[in-house]
Amino acid sequence: MKVLSSYQDGRLTLYFKGELDHHEAAAALKRIARTLDDYLPRDCVVDMGGLTFMDSSGIALILRVCKLMKETGGRAWVENARNQPLKVIDASGIDRMIQVTTAAN
Amino acid sequence: MKSTNYIKFEFPARSVNESFARAAAAAFAAQLDPTLEELGDIKTAVSEAVTNVIVHAYPDKIGMVQMRLRTMEGNMLEICVKDKGCGIPDVKKAMEPMFSTGGEERSGMGFTIMGSFMDGLRVKSSVGKGTTVTMAKKINVKVRA
Protein backbone atom coordinates (compact mmCIF):
# COMPACT_ATOMS: atom_id res chain seq x y z
CA MET A 1 0.00 0.00 0.00
CA LYS A 2 1.14 3.54 -0.70
CA VAL A 3 0.32 6.57 1.42
CA LEU A 4 0.79 9.89 -0.36
CA SER A 5 0.08 13.22 1.29
CA SER A 6 -0.61 16.84 0.49
CA TYR A 7 -0.92 19.83 2.81
CA GLN A 8 -2.73 23.10 2.34
CA ASP A 9 -4.10 25.72 4.77
CA GLY A 10 -3.95 23.52 7.86
CA ARG A 11 -5.45 20.48 6.14
CA LEU A 12 -3.40 17.35 5.54
CA THR A 13 -4.82 14.88 3.05
CA LEU A 14 -3.56 11.30 3.15
CA TYR A 15 -4.16 9.35 -0.05
CA PHE A 16 -4.35 5.58 0.49
CA LYS A 17 -3.58 3.49 -2.58
CA GLY A 18 -3.57 -0.30 -3.02
CA GLU A 19 -4.49 -2.91 -0.39
CA LEU A 20 -4.46 -2.31 3.37
CA ASP A 21 -4.06 -5.36 5.58
CA HIS A 22 -2.18 -6.29 8.75
CA HIS A 23 1.07 -6.65 6.80
CA GLU A 24 0.84 -3.09 5.48
CA ALA A 25 -0.76 -1.38 8.48
CA ALA A 26 2.20 -1.08 10.87
CA ALA A 27 4.53 0.57 8.34
CA ALA A 28 1.72 2.82 7.09
CA LEU A 29 0.94 3.98 10.63
CA LYS A 30 4.60 4.86 11.26
CA ARG A 31 4.73 6.94 8.07
CA ILE A 32 1.44 8.66 8.89
CA ALA A 33 2.48 9.44 12.49
CA ARG A 34 5.69 11.01 11.16
CA THR A 35 3.76 13.08 8.60
CA LEU A 36 1.31 14.29 11.28
CA ASP A 37 4.28 15.28 13.46
CA ASP A 38 5.86 17.18 10.57
CA TYR A 39 2.77 19.21 9.63
CA LEU A 40 0.71 19.32 12.87
CA PRO A 41 -2.46 19.85 10.78
CA ARG A 42 -5.77 21.17 12.06
CA ASP A 43 -7.68 18.72 9.85
CA CYS A 44 -6.66 15.34 8.46
CA VAL A 45 -8.54 13.80 5.54
CA VAL A 46 -8.04 10.11 4.88
CA ASP A 47 -8.79 9.82 1.16
CA MET A 48 -9.56 6.18 0.34
CA GLY A 49 -10.34 6.72 -3.34
CA GLY A 50 -7.35 4.61 -4.37
CA LEU A 51 -7.83 1.88 -1.78
CA THR A 52 -9.02 -1.32 -3.47
CA PHE A 53 -9.08 -3.59 -0.39
CA MET A 54 -9.12 -3.14 3.37
CA ASP A 55 -9.65 -5.51 6.29
CA SER A 56 -10.11 -4.64 9.98
CA SER A 57 -6.46 -3.53 10.14
CA GLY A 58 -7.73 -0.46 8.30
CA ILE A 59 -10.27 0.19 11.06
CA ALA A 60 -7.47 0.18 13.66
CA LEU A 61 -5.45 2.53 11.45
CA ILE A 62 -8.32 5.01 11.02
CA LEU A 63 -9.02 4.98 14.77
CA ARG A 64 -5.33 5.59 15.46
CA VAL A 65 -5.19 8.55 13.06
CA CYS A 66 -8.28 10.03 14.74
CA LYS A 67 -6.70 9.55 18.17
CA LEU A 68 -3.44 11.21 17.09
CA MET A 69 -5.39 14.14 15.65
CA LYS A 70 -7.51 14.48 18.79
CA GLU A 71 -4.36 14.58 20.94
CA THR A 72 -3.29 17.76 19.13
CA GLY A 73 -6.75 19.31 19.09
CA GLY A 74 -7.45 18.44 15.45
CA ARG A 75 -9.98 16.22 13.73
CA ALA A 76 -9.94 13.55 11.06
CA TRP A 77 -12.42 12.00 8.68
CA VAL A 78 -12.61 9.58 5.76
CA GLU A 79 -13.45 10.51 2.17
CA ASN A 80 -14.06 8.62 -1.09
CA ALA A 81 -14.33 5.13 0.43
CA ARG A 82 -15.05 2.53 -2.27
CA ASN A 83 -17.54 -0.35 -1.87
CA GLN A 84 -15.35 -2.98 -0.16
CA PRO A 85 -13.60 -0.67 2.36
CA LEU A 86 -16.95 1.02 2.99
CA LYS A 87 -18.55 -2.33 3.82
CA VAL A 88 -15.80 -3.02 6.37
CA ILE A 89 -16.31 0.46 7.86
CA ASP A 90 -20.08 -0.14 8.03
CA ALA A 91 -19.62 -3.53 9.71
CA SER A 92 -17.28 -2.05 12.32
CA GLY A 93 -19.67 0.77 13.19
CA ILE A 94 -16.92 3.42 13.31
CA ASP A 95 -18.96 5.55 10.91
CA ARG A 96 -21.06 6.41 13.99
CA MET A 97 -17.98 8.15 15.46
CA ILE A 98 -16.13 9.35 12.35
CA GLN A 99 -17.50 11.12 9.29
CA VAL A 100 -17.22 8.92 6.21
CA THR A 101 -18.07 9.89 2.65
CA THR A 102 -18.27 7.46 -0.25
CA ALA A 103 -16.66 7.37 -3.66
CA ALA A 104 -18.73 7.58 -6.83
CA ASN A 105 -17.45 4.05 -7.68
CA MET B 1 -24.05 -31.33 1.75
CA LYS B 2 -21.88 -32.95 -0.92
CA SER B 3 -18.50 -31.47 -1.82
CA THR B 4 -17.93 -30.90 -5.53
CA ASN B 5 -14.32 -29.65 -5.57
CA TYR B 6 -11.62 -28.68 -3.09
CA ILE B 7 -8.10 -27.35 -2.61
CA LYS B 8 -5.78 -27.63 0.38
CA PHE B 9 -2.59 -25.73 0.98
CA GLU B 10 -0.42 -24.48 3.79
CA PHE B 11 2.01 -21.63 4.26
CA PRO B 12 4.09 -20.05 7.05
CA ALA B 13 2.20 -17.63 9.28
CA ARG B 14 4.01 -14.56 7.97
CA SER B 15 2.08 -11.37 7.36
CA VAL B 16 3.49 -11.09 3.84
CA ASN B 17 1.39 -14.19 2.96
CA GLU B 18 -1.95 -12.54 3.82
CA SER B 19 -2.41 -11.18 0.29
CA PHE B 20 -1.55 -14.58 -1.22
CA ALA B 21 -4.15 -16.32 0.99
CA ARG B 22 -7.01 -14.01 -0.04
CA ALA B 23 -5.97 -14.05 -3.71
CA ALA B 24 -5.90 -17.87 -3.68
CA ALA B 25 -9.34 -18.00 -2.03
CA ALA B 26 -10.76 -15.55 -4.59
CA ALA B 27 -9.26 -17.55 -7.48
CA PHE B 28 -10.81 -20.80 -6.21
CA ALA B 29 -14.18 -19.12 -5.51
CA ALA B 30 -14.28 -17.77 -9.09
CA GLN B 31 -15.63 -21.13 -10.35
CA LEU B 32 -18.91 -20.34 -8.52
CA ASP B 33 -19.26 -17.12 -10.56
CA PRO B 34 -19.45 -14.70 -7.61
CA THR B 35 -20.18 -11.01 -7.96
CA LEU B 36 -17.44 -8.50 -7.17
CA GLU B 37 -19.15 -7.86 -3.82
CA GLU B 38 -19.21 -11.58 -2.97
CA LEU B 39 -15.53 -11.88 -3.94
CA GLY B 40 -14.74 -8.89 -1.72
CA ASP B 41 -16.59 -10.53 1.18
CA ILE B 42 -14.60 -13.77 0.74
CA LYS B 43 -11.26 -11.95 0.53
CA THR B 44 -12.09 -9.88 3.61
CA ALA B 45 -13.11 -12.89 5.72
CA VAL B 46 -9.99 -14.85 4.67
CA SER B 47 -7.76 -11.88 5.46
CA GLU B 48 -9.28 -11.65 8.96
CA ALA B 49 -8.93 -15.37 9.66
CA VAL B 50 -5.33 -15.57 8.43
CA THR B 51 -4.36 -12.38 10.28
CA ASN B 52 -5.75 -13.87 13.50
CA VAL B 53 -3.42 -16.87 13.08
CA ILE B 54 -0.42 -14.63 12.35
CA VAL B 55 -1.07 -12.26 15.27
CA HIS B 56 -2.42 -14.62 17.93
CA ALA B 57 -1.79 -18.31 17.26
CA TYR B 58 2.00 -18.34 17.18
CA PRO B 59 3.31 -15.64 19.55
CA ASP B 60 6.86 -17.05 19.76
CA LYS B 61 7.42 -18.77 16.42
CA ILE B 62 6.41 -18.87 12.79
CA GLY B 63 3.99 -21.79 12.61
CA MET B 64 1.96 -23.01 9.67
CA VAL B 65 -1.46 -21.92 8.43
CA GLN B 66 -3.53 -24.64 6.77
CA MET B 67 -6.31 -23.66 4.41
CA ARG B 68 -8.93 -25.85 2.83
CA LEU B 69 -11.58 -24.55 0.47
CA ARG B 70 -14.50 -26.59 -0.81
CA THR B 71 -17.28 -25.94 -3.24
CA MET B 72 -20.48 -27.65 -2.20
CA GLU B 73 -23.77 -28.48 -3.85
CA GLY B 74 -26.09 -25.48 -3.93
CA ASN B 75 -23.34 -23.06 -5.00
CA MET B 76 -21.87 -22.98 -1.49
CA LEU B 77 -18.27 -22.19 -0.62
CA GLU B 78 -16.69 -23.47 2.58
CA ILE B 79 -13.38 -22.08 3.84
CA CYS B 80 -11.44 -23.64 6.67
CA VAL B 81 -8.43 -21.87 8.24
CA LYS B 82 -6.55 -24.01 10.72
CA ASP B 83 -3.50 -23.60 12.94
CA LYS B 84 -1.67 -25.68 15.50
CA GLY B 85 -0.89 -22.71 17.71
CA CYS B 86 -1.66 -21.68 21.29
CA GLY B 87 -5.45 -21.85 20.99
CA ILE B 88 -8.09 -19.46 22.33
CA PRO B 89 -8.93 -19.85 26.05
CA ASP B 90 -12.36 -18.20 25.76
CA VAL B 91 -13.80 -18.33 22.22
CA LYS B 92 -17.02 -16.54 23.23
CA LYS B 93 -15.04 -13.62 24.66
CA ALA B 94 -12.68 -13.53 21.65
CA MET B 95 -15.69 -13.20 19.33
CA GLU B 96 -17.05 -10.12 21.11
CA PRO B 97 -16.75 -6.93 19.01
CA MET B 98 -13.78 -4.70 19.95
CA PHE B 99 -12.16 -7.43 22.07
CA SER B 100 -8.49 -7.82 21.19
CA THR B 101 -5.25 -8.86 22.78
CA GLY B 102 -3.32 -7.69 19.71
CA GLY B 103 -2.46 -4.10 20.73
CA GLU B 104 -3.23 -0.85 18.95
CA GLU B 105 -2.63 -2.31 15.50
CA ARG B 106 -5.73 -4.49 15.93
CA SER B 107 -9.32 -3.31 16.12
CA GLY B 108 -10.88 -6.39 17.70
CA MET B 109 -13.36 -6.59 14.80
CA GLY B 110 -11.96 -9.67 13.03
CA PHE B 111 -14.58 -12.23 14.07
CA THR B 112 -17.37 -9.64 13.78
CA ILE B 113 -16.39 -8.98 10.17
CA MET B 114 -16.00 -12.69 9.38
CA GLY B 115 -19.49 -13.27 10.78
CA SER B 116 -21.14 -10.42 8.93
CA PHE B 117 -19.42 -11.02 5.57
CA MET B 118 -20.05 -14.79 5.49
CA ASP B 119 -23.26 -16.80 5.92
CA GLY B 120 -21.79 -19.17 8.51
CA LEU B 121 -18.93 -19.01 11.03
CA ARG B 122 -17.77 -21.74 13.40
CA VAL B 123 -14.73 -21.52 15.68
CA LYS B 124 -13.26 -24.58 17.40
CA SER B 125 -10.26 -24.08 19.64
CA SER B 126 -8.27 -26.02 22.17
CA VAL B 127 -5.62 -24.35 24.34
CA GLY B 128 -2.15 -25.59 23.36
CA LYS B 129 -3.47 -27.49 20.33
CA GLY B 130 -4.77 -24.88 17.93
CA THR B 131 -7.81 -23.31 16.32
CA THR B 132 -10.01 -24.11 13.35
CA VAL B 133 -12.19 -21.40 11.82
CA THR B 134 -14.77 -22.65 9.33
CA MET B 135 -16.74 -20.18 7.23
CA ALA B 136 -19.43 -20.75 4.63
CA LYS B 137 -20.87 -18.51 1.96
CA LYS B 138 -23.74 -19.06 -0.42
CA ILE B 139 -22.92 -17.64 -3.84
CA ASN B 140 -26.07 -16.45 -5.58
CA VAL B 141 -26.69 -18.11 -8.92
CA LYS B 142 -26.83 -15.55 -11.71
CA VAL B 143 -29.54 -15.73 -14.32
CA ARG B 144 -28.07 -15.05 -17.74
CA ALA B 145 -30.24 -13.68 -20.52
A33 CB neighbour count, 10 Å cutoff: 13
Structural domain boundaries of chain B? Answer: 3-138
Please name the residue of chain A whose CA is at the shortest distance from the CA of residue B52: A22
The identity of residue B63, as a single letter, is G
Fold for domain B3-138?
Heat Shock Protein 90 (3.30.565)
pLDDT tens per residue across span A19-68: 999 999 999 999 999 999 999 999 999 999 999 999 999 999 999 999 99
Say yes or no for a CB contact (<8 Å) between A56 and B40. Answer: no
Residues of B marked active site are found at: 48, 52, 106
Under DSSP, is residue A76 helix (H, G, I), strand (E, B) or coil? Answer: strand
Query: Regarding predicted confidence, which is higher, A100 or B107?
Result: A100
Structural domain boundaries of chain A? Answer: 2-102
Describe the strand order of the beta sheet including A100-102 as a list of residue ranges: A2-8, A11-20, A43-54, A75-81, A100-102
Say yes or no for a CB contact (<8 Å) between B109 and A56. Answer: yes
Q: Is residue A103 very low, low, confident or very high in pLDDT (cuts 50, 70, 90)?
A: confident
Query: 10-residue block means of pLDDT along chain B (145 residues)?
Result: 95 97 98 97 98 93 97 97 95 80 71 95 96 97 77
Under DSSP, is residue B116 helix (H, G, I), strand (E, B) or coil? Answer: helix
The complex scores an ipTM of: 0.91
Q: H helices within chain A, ranges in order?
A: 22-39, 56-71, 83-92
pLDDT tens per residue across span B78-104: 999 999 999 999 889 888 876 666 666
A81-104 b/e (C-beta count within 10 Å ≥ 16 → b): bbebbbbbbebbebbeebebeebe
Q: Which residues of A touch B112 (CB under 8 A)?
A: 91-92
- φ, ψ dihedrals at B13, nearest 5°: -75, 65
Q: Right CATH number for A2-102 from 2.40.160.40, 1.20.1440.230, 3.30.750.24, 3.90.650.10?
A: 3.30.750.24
Please name the residue of chain B whose CA is at the shortest distance from the CA of residue A19: B19
Cβ burial of B15 (10 Å; 0-12, 13-18, 19+) is middle
Q: Which of B14, B107, B114, B116 to mutate to test the interface with A (most CBs of A within 10 A)?
A: B107
Length of chain A counted residue by residue: 105
Please name the residue of chain B whose CA is at the shortest distance from the CA of residue A63: B107
Listed residue (A1, A53, A51, A52) closest to A26, CA to CA: A1
